[in-house]
Amino acid sequence: MSDTRQNPKAQDHIEKTTTAFPATMSEEHGFRNYYRCPYDGTSWIAEWVCKCNDRCPICRAEIEPHDSEDY
């Protein structure tokens, strides 16, 4: 098990989910993108007007969605 004294936030954020809704989101059509960071394990959902990469809210790495659904 890793020592969380060096990065106490890492333990708190692993397996937590956040949801982002950008201000440019169209009410009529968009994509719900599902992300999981391979570096720190953070999962989140973001709704955008396209299938696009997003930045991990914890480590800021650029991540591709592992799944998307349109609505």
Q: What is the pTM of this model?
A: 0.61
Q: Taking the domains of the chain in order of start, what are their residue ranges? A: 12-70
Q: Give whole-number Cα distances, 32 to 8, 46, 49, 68, in Å.
A: 30, 6, 9, 6
pLDDT in tens, 1-49: 444 444 445 445 444 555 555 545 545 789 999 999 999 999 999 998 9
φ, ψ (nearest 5 deg) of residue 9? -70, -30
